[in-house]
Amino acid sequence: MRFRETQVIVLANQKGGCGKTSSTVSTAAAFADLGYDVCVVDTDPQCNATDNLGVDPDQSIREGRYTLADAYLSKVPATKIRVHPEGRFGGRLSVVPGHRALSSVSARLENEVIQYLTDENTSHLDGEDLRREHRMRLRHSIDSLRGVVDIVLIDTPPNLDFLMTSALIAADWYVVPVFPSGYDLKGLEVLTRTIEKVRNQYNPKLNLAGVLLGNYDRTTSLDRQIHEFLRNRFTPALVFGTTITRSVRYREAAMGRITIFEHPEGKEQASQYVALVREMINRGAKGAFGATINPLPDQETVRRVIGDEPTVSEVANG
Ligand SMILES: Nc1ncnc2c1ncn2[C@@H]1O[C@H](COP(=O)(O)OP(=O)(O)OP(=O)(O)O)[C@@H](O)[C@H]1O
Ligand SMILES: [Mg+2]
């Protein structure tokens, strides 16, 4: 372990197809490539991150191993679930595999609450306590990785349900990936409100690491305008200076179940993620991540700038 403390980062945006998985996997690979110990935690029932990293959850189960569903249902610590994809990044990259059963975890836990409340010795408020404990299960599982790996990266599903909430509760930082196409600031507003609730009720230390613009084409003027708009609107401190260029290599890598770092023609793309990771390290909290050259904004600033309601036409009109 190279950091003084483990940093847990969640990639969150309830919008589908905005680069959450691609950036989770590529950022993890960048940290591992730079010599850090990294663990990817896949909370998405689609299991794209698990799949991209070459892990088959059904195979894991056949071999008697756990998946992330067991963290929620049986409180299994992440250290007991994670697997190390063989021969990759010198064993510095591990995965806590997702499973499609994650999609029913919330309903199963709610059933537990209902069962519990049928006991005449329980009150309605006991049910609330149990729900609260369920929301904390991912955090407790991931806490087992603290002091073991440098970085935990959590990939999330495209909604604000139980799984996303539990991921926000488990994290120290959140990154908001956005694509310039179909960009919807209203979505960010809802996300920010959810994060405020998580901070108030569960995780006051959750902070924004940055907004990450991916699938970016600097030759397209609208894409450039959107980047500029983001930096003006959110302040440059909130938007990563590093953008991730549009490239077919990401889909090729995903289909080949390799990371962009392992793609024979992925050098240029990989170097962008190395730049991103360096930016993250520089912007991180002093003492934990390293030196701070571009300090992170406080959450009040985040709420203020994202809480406003700019329209997409503002983007188009500059
Ligand atoms: N920089 C990029 N250039 C081109 N394509 C990209 C880039 N980044 C990601 N993609 C592709 O865009 C698609 C969506 O990306 P990704 O799966 O990472 O999004 P997501 O937010 O995880 O989606 P979901 O919400 O469904 O989980 C994928 O096919 C991915 O390969
Ligand atoms: Mg995804």
Alpha-carbon span 64 to 184, nearest angstrom = 43
Confidence band, pLDDT 50/70/90 cuts, at residue 124: confident
- Mean pLDDT of all residues belonging to the chain: 90
Q: Which distant-in-sequence residues (6+ apart) come within 8 Å of 299 by Cβ? A: 196, 199, 207, 208
Report which of residues 310 and 26 the model is more confident about: 26
* Residue ranges with strand state E in 25-142: 38-42, 93-96
Q: CB of 43 closer than 6 A to ligand 1?
A: no
Alpha-carbon span 223 to 179, nearest angstrom = 9
For residue 152, the tally of other CB atoms under 10 A from its CB is: 28
Averaged pLDDT, 78-82? 98
pLDDT of residue 307: 62
Which tens digit of pLDDT belongs to each residue from 252-271? 999 999 999 999 999 999 99
211 CA → ligand 2 middle, Å: 17
> Above 50 in pLDDT, residue 277?
yes
**Residue whose CB lies within 8 A of the most ligand 1 atoms, among 40, 102, 212, 250, for a mutation test:** 250
Q: 73-87, 124-138, 292-306: which has the minimum mean pLDDT? A: 292-306
pLDDT of residue 289: 57
Q: Where are the domains of the chain?
A: 7-316
Which tens digit of pLDDT belongs to each residue from 49-70? 999 999 999 999 999 999 999 9
Tokens 């793609």 map to which residue?
A: 263
Q: Please provide the size of the chain in residues.
A: 318
**Percent share of the chain, pLDDT over 70:** 88
Q: CB of 268 closer than 6 A to ligand 1?
A: no
**Percent share of the chain, pLDDT over 90:** 72
The CATH code belonging to domain 7-316 is 3.40.50.300
Report which of residues 181 and 150 the model is more confident about: 150
Return the half-sphere exposure (C-beta side, CA atoms, 13 A cut-off) of residue 211: 27
177 CA → ligand 1 middle, Å: 10
